[in-house]
Amino acid sequence: MAEHTESSTAIDAAPADVLAVIADLEAYPEWAGGVKSVEVLSTKNGVPQQARFQLDSGPIKDTYVLEYTWPSSSTGTATGVVSWVLVEGNIISKLDGQYHLVRDGDGTKVTYRLTVDVRMPMLGMLKRKAEKVIIDTALKDLKKRVESLGDRGADRAEG
Protein backbone atom coordinates (compact mmCIF):
# COMPACT_ATOMS: atom_id res chain seq x y z
CA MET A 1 0.00 0.00 0.00
CA ALA A 2 1.30 3.46 -0.90
CA GLU A 3 2.31 5.80 1.88
CA HIS A 4 -0.08 8.60 2.68
CA THR A 5 -0.37 11.60 4.97
CA GLU A 6 -3.39 12.50 7.05
CA SER A 7 -4.56 15.16 9.47
CA SER A 8 -7.83 16.16 11.12
CA THR A 9 -9.69 19.28 12.20
CA ALA A 10 -12.92 20.09 13.98
CA ILE A 11 -15.37 22.28 12.08
CA ASP A 12 -18.16 24.13 13.84
CA ALA A 13 -20.88 23.04 11.42
CA ALA A 14 -23.07 20.04 10.72
CA PRO A 15 -21.67 17.32 8.43
CA ALA A 16 -24.22 18.23 5.73
CA ASP A 17 -22.88 21.80 5.64
CA VAL A 18 -19.29 20.56 5.36
CA LEU A 19 -20.25 18.09 2.64
CA ALA A 20 -22.07 20.82 0.70
CA VAL A 21 -18.90 22.95 0.59
CA ILE A 22 -16.78 19.94 -0.45
CA ALA A 23 -19.28 19.06 -3.20
CA ASP A 24 -19.36 22.61 -4.61
CA LEU A 25 -16.20 22.02 -6.64
CA GLU A 26 -16.75 24.99 -8.96
CA ALA A 27 -16.48 27.35 -5.94
CA TYR A 28 -13.02 26.05 -4.95
CA PRO A 29 -11.16 28.91 -6.71
CA GLU A 30 -12.91 31.30 -4.28
CA TRP A 31 -11.38 29.67 -1.21
CA ALA A 32 -9.00 26.76 -1.91
CA GLY A 33 -5.39 27.90 -2.14
CA GLY A 34 -3.76 27.26 -5.51
CA VAL A 35 -6.94 26.16 -7.31
CA LYS A 36 -7.40 28.52 -10.27
CA SER A 37 -10.39 26.88 -11.96
CA VAL A 38 -12.63 23.81 -11.75
CA GLU A 39 -14.84 22.40 -14.48
CA VAL A 40 -17.27 19.64 -13.55
CA LEU A 41 -17.12 17.14 -16.42
CA SER A 42 -19.84 14.75 -15.24
CA THR A 43 -22.27 14.26 -12.39
CA LYS A 44 -24.00 11.28 -10.85
CA ASN A 45 -26.92 11.45 -8.42
CA GLY A 46 -26.56 15.24 -8.28
CA VAL A 47 -22.89 15.37 -7.25
CA PRO A 48 -19.74 15.75 -9.35
CA GLN A 49 -18.32 12.49 -10.60
CA GLN A 50 -15.39 13.86 -12.63
CA ALA A 51 -13.88 17.35 -12.57
CA ARG A 52 -10.93 19.09 -14.22
CA PHE A 53 -8.82 21.30 -11.96
CA GLN A 54 -6.27 23.93 -12.90
CA LEU A 55 -3.68 24.24 -10.14
CA ASP A 56 -1.11 27.00 -9.71
CA SER A 57 0.59 26.37 -6.40
CA GLY A 58 4.06 27.88 -6.56
CA PRO A 59 6.36 25.36 -8.18
CA ILE A 60 3.51 23.03 -9.20
CA LYS A 61 1.33 24.15 -12.08
CA ASP A 62 -0.86 21.44 -13.56
CA THR A 63 -4.23 20.60 -15.02
CA TYR A 64 -5.67 17.30 -13.83
CA VAL A 65 -8.91 15.32 -13.68
CA LEU A 66 -10.24 13.68 -10.51
CA GLU A 67 -12.99 11.09 -10.19
CA TYR A 68 -15.08 11.22 -7.01
CA THR A 69 -16.98 8.73 -4.85
CA TRP A 70 -19.48 10.23 -2.40
CA PRO A 71 -21.05 8.88 0.81
CA SER A 72 -24.44 7.28 0.38
CA SER A 73 -27.21 9.84 0.78
CA SER A 74 -29.59 7.10 1.88
CA THR A 75 -28.64 7.62 5.53
CA GLY A 76 -29.32 11.38 5.34
CA THR A 77 -26.51 12.09 7.80
CA ALA A 78 -23.89 13.40 5.31
CA THR A 79 -21.25 11.52 7.29
CA GLY A 80 -18.87 9.06 5.70
CA VAL A 81 -16.09 9.27 3.16
CA VAL A 82 -15.69 11.46 0.08
CA SER A 83 -12.84 10.00 -1.95
CA TRP A 84 -11.16 10.79 -5.24
CA VAL A 85 -8.55 9.34 -7.56
CA LEU A 86 -6.50 10.96 -10.27
CA VAL A 87 -7.74 10.12 -13.77
CA GLU A 88 -5.22 12.21 -15.70
CA GLY A 89 -2.56 14.77 -14.98
CA ASN A 90 0.54 16.24 -16.60
CA ILE A 91 3.00 16.73 -13.74
CA ILE A 92 0.97 15.03 -11.03
CA SER A 93 0.91 11.25 -11.45
CA LYS A 94 -1.04 10.37 -8.27
CA LEU A 95 -3.46 12.50 -6.30
CA ASP A 96 -5.66 10.09 -4.39
CA GLY A 97 -7.38 11.26 -1.26
CA GLN A 98 -10.40 11.35 0.96
CA TYR A 99 -12.28 13.44 3.46
CA HIS A 100 -13.78 11.38 6.28
CA LEU A 101 -16.64 13.24 7.98
CA VAL A 102 -17.84 12.23 11.44
CA ARG A 103 -20.38 14.06 13.59
CA ASP A 104 -18.61 15.49 16.63
CA GLY A 105 -21.10 17.02 19.08
CA ASP A 106 -22.71 19.93 17.22
CA GLY A 107 -19.89 19.99 14.68
CA THR A 108 -17.93 17.73 12.38
CA LYS A 109 -14.54 16.09 12.65
CA VAL A 110 -12.93 16.03 9.20
CA THR A 111 -9.96 13.77 8.52
CA TYR A 112 -8.13 14.35 5.25
CA ARG A 113 -5.94 11.56 3.86
CA LEU A 114 -3.81 12.16 0.76
CA THR A 115 -1.26 10.38 -1.43
CA VAL A 116 0.58 12.51 -3.98
CA ASP A 117 3.17 11.60 -6.59
CA VAL A 118 4.71 13.60 -9.41
CA ARG A 119 6.37 12.62 -12.65
CA MET A 120 9.69 14.18 -11.63
CA PRO A 121 12.10 12.50 -9.22
CA MET A 122 11.41 13.48 -5.61
CA LEU A 123 12.48 11.98 -2.31
CA GLY A 124 9.74 10.27 -0.34
CA MET A 125 10.41 12.58 2.59
CA LEU A 126 9.75 15.63 0.38
CA LYS A 127 6.54 14.05 -0.98
CA ARG A 128 5.24 13.53 2.56
CA LYS A 129 6.16 17.14 3.44
CA ALA A 130 4.29 18.38 0.33
CA GLU A 131 1.27 16.24 1.30
CA LYS A 132 1.36 17.69 4.81
CA VAL A 133 1.38 21.26 3.48
CA ILE A 134 -1.48 20.47 1.05
CA ILE A 135 -3.56 18.82 3.77
CA ASP A 136 -2.96 21.51 6.41
CA THR A 137 -3.82 24.27 3.92
CA ALA A 138 -6.89 22.43 2.62
CA LEU A 139 -8.27 21.76 6.12
CA LYS A 140 -7.63 25.35 7.22
CA ASP A 141 -9.30 26.72 4.07
CA LEU A 142 -12.25 24.28 4.34
CA LYS A 143 -12.82 25.15 8.00
CA LYS A 144 -12.69 28.89 7.25
CA ARG A 145 -15.08 28.55 4.28
CA VAL A 146 -17.66 26.35 6.05
CA GLU A 147 -17.68 28.39 9.25
CA SER A 148 -17.88 31.72 7.37
CA LEU A 149 -20.90 30.44 5.41
CA GLY A 150 -22.48 29.35 8.68
CA ASP A 151 -21.85 32.80 10.18
CA ARG A 152 -23.54 34.44 7.18
CA GLY A 153 -26.53 32.13 7.64
CA ALA A 154 -26.74 33.08 11.33
CA ASP A 155 -26.44 36.79 10.42
CA ARG A 156 -29.35 36.44 7.96
CA ALA A 157 -31.46 34.59 10.56
CA GLU A 158 -30.87 37.35 13.14
CA GLY A 159 -31.59 40.19 10.64
Domains, the chain, ranges and CATH? 5-158 (3.30.530.20)
pLDDT in tens, 38-83: 999 999 988 999 999 998 876 678 899 999 999 876 445 668 899 9
Answer whether residue 152 shows pLDDT above 70.
no
pLDDT in tens, 6-19: 999 999 999 999 99
Instruction: Tell me how far apart the alpha carbons of residues 32 and 80 are, in angstroms, rounded to a whole number.
Output: 22
Coil/strand/helix, residue 95: strand
1, amino acid identity: M
